Structure 1
C-alpha cells in the first residue's frame, strides 16, 4: 500500500466518528400537553432514524416562539410548525422549505367553544360575542389565535380588544379547553383536532362546554426544513426526509398527531396565512 493511500485511509477513519456523531434534530410547537408531545415525537425520532440512517433527536421547547428561535439558530434542522409559526420561521431562515403537511392540514379549522353559563346557542352564523370573556391559545398559534382573531374581527367589524370584556392566552389548546370548561373564560378558540381527541378521550364534559361555531377551512400545520440541510448531511438528504415523512404509514404513529397521512407541501401553500398575519398586524 502506498504512503498516500495509507494516509488517506487514516484520515477517513479519523473523520468517521465525527460523521457518525452528527445528529439530525427537530422540534415541534408545544400545542398540547407536554407528555403527549414527548410520547409522539420520540416515536417520530425512532422512525426517522430507521429511514434516514442517522441519529435523530427530538428537542422539546416551551413556547411557539422558542420553536421558531431554535429553527432560526440552527439548533434544530426540522420543525413541526403551525401555519403562522412556519411562515415566521421561513422568513427568518431564507431557503427553508415547507415539505410535508397532514392530509387534514390542507383544510384545517378552529372551533369556538363556550361555557354553558354563556348561554350561546350553536349556529352556522357567527355568534354575537360582544361583552364576553375570551381566551385564545398561544399568541402565535394559527388555529388558536391568528385565524380566530381574523374571523372575529371580520364578522363583528371591530378589533378584538373592543369586543371582549377580557382576553386571555392559555398557551395551548388543551389548556384552552380546560379553562373554558372550568368557566375561567366564557368563550375560547381551539384547534378542532385537539378538541376531537380530548372529546374521544373523555376529557370534555359537554354539560359544561360545547362547540358554538366552526371556522371556514384554511391551511395549517406543516413540516419545515432548513435550506442548508444538504450541506451538513449530504446531497439529497432533504429529499430523503421528505420521502420519510410522506411515507409514514404506521397507523399508531399517524393517529398520535392525529392525521390520516402526510402529503407534499410547498411554501406557496401558506401565502394566505402570511397575508392574514400581515392584515391583523402579527407580522410586518
Structure 2
C-alpha cells in the first residue's frame, strides 16, 4: 500500500514537472516568436515600378526604430498584387490608394485604415491632353475627349481611373464604353499616362494631380505639349492600411501604437518616401465614398 502511494505521489510530481516544463516551453516559444516577428509592408506601384525598394526603405527604417521591431519592405509588381499579398498575409501593412485600400479591407475582416497624408483627404485628378488636340482648360467636363484616343492609368487606380470615370459618368450619363468613340487604354501608372500624352501616343488621359505637377516641375513633361484641361472635385484617396494579424504578432494594442507612430512621424526621409508632408489619423469610414463609387464603375462589356 505504501509502495502504491509513493508511486502515485511520484507520478503526480512527474506530471506537475512535465506540466511546468510544458508551460515554460510554451512561454519561451511565444516570446521567441514575438521577438522574431517581422512586419512586412508594401505599396501600390503608382510610379516607377523599378525603384520601389529604394523609395520605401526609409519608411521601414523609421518604423523599425520607432517601434523597436523588425520591418521589411516587399515590392509589388502591380496594384492587384498589393491587394493579393495583403489578403494572403504576405504583407501586414500597405500604402494603398483609395480603391485598393477598400478592396483589401473588404477581403480581410478586421483590417483597418490607419493614416492618410493630410492632402489625401482632399485629393483630385487631372484630365490632361496633348495640345495638338486644340483643347484648352475648362471649368466644365471636357465632352470633346469622347472622340480622342484616351488612356487611364491602372484599372484599379483611384485617381487614375475609378474617380475620373465616376465624374465622367456623372457628366455624360454614360459608361466609358458608351462614351468614348475609340477604344481607351490603361497605361498602368500615373507617370506612364503623363509620358504617353506628352508624346502624343495618346491624345488625352487622366492621372493624379501630384504626378502631373511633379512632371512639369522636373521638366519631364513639356507644359507646351501636355496641359490640364479639367480638374475633378476632391475626394479621399491614399491610406496606410493594417492587417489585424499584427495584434497577434506584436500584442494587443499594437495597431494603435502603429497609428500613433505614423501620425507622429516627422522623419524627412520617411515622409519623403510617401511624398507627404504630414500623416493624419483616419478610419475605414473615411473611404465609404470610394466604396460606393466602386460599386457603380464597371469596365466589363
Normalised by the size of structure 1, how large is the TM-score? 0.92
Please, which of 131, 136, 142 is the counterpart of residue 116 of structure 1? 131
SS of the residue 1:238 aligns to = helix
The alignment's C-alpha RMSD in Å is 2.2
Normalised by the size of structure 2, how large is the TM-score? 0.87
Residues 58, 273 of structure 2: 8 Å contact kept: no
The reply to whether residue 271 of structure 1 matches residue 288 of structure 2 is yes
SS of the residue 2:146 aligns to = coil
- 1:155 corresponds to which residue? 171
The reply to whether residue 127 of structure 1 matches residue 142 of structure 2 is yes
**1:236 to partner: Cα distance:** 1.4
Structure possessing the higher radius of gyration over alpha carbons: 2
SS of the residue 2:115 aligns to = strand
Please, which of 256, 265, 288 is the counterpart of residue 239 of structure 1? 256
Partners of 2:63 and 2:244 lie apart in 1 by 19
Q: How does 1:90-239 map to 2 (within 5 A)?
A: 90-128=105-143, 129-164=145-180, 165-239=182-256
Partners of 1:277 and 1:7 lie apart in 2 by 51
Partners of 1:58 and 1:206 lie apart in 2 by 35
Query: Of Structure 1 and Structure 2, which has the larger fraction of its residues in helix?
Result: 2
SS of the residue 2:136 aligns to = coil
Partners of 1:271 and 1:15 lie apart in 2 by 38
- 2:87 corresponds to which residue? 72
Residues 118, 278 of structure 2: 8 Å contact kept: yes
Farther off after superposition, 254-263 or 115-124 = 254-263
Structure 1 gap ranges (5+): none
Q: Displaced runs of 4+ in structure 1, greater than 4 A? A: 2-17
Structure 2 gap ranges (5+): 1-16
Residues 59, 269 of structure 2: 8 Å contact kept: no
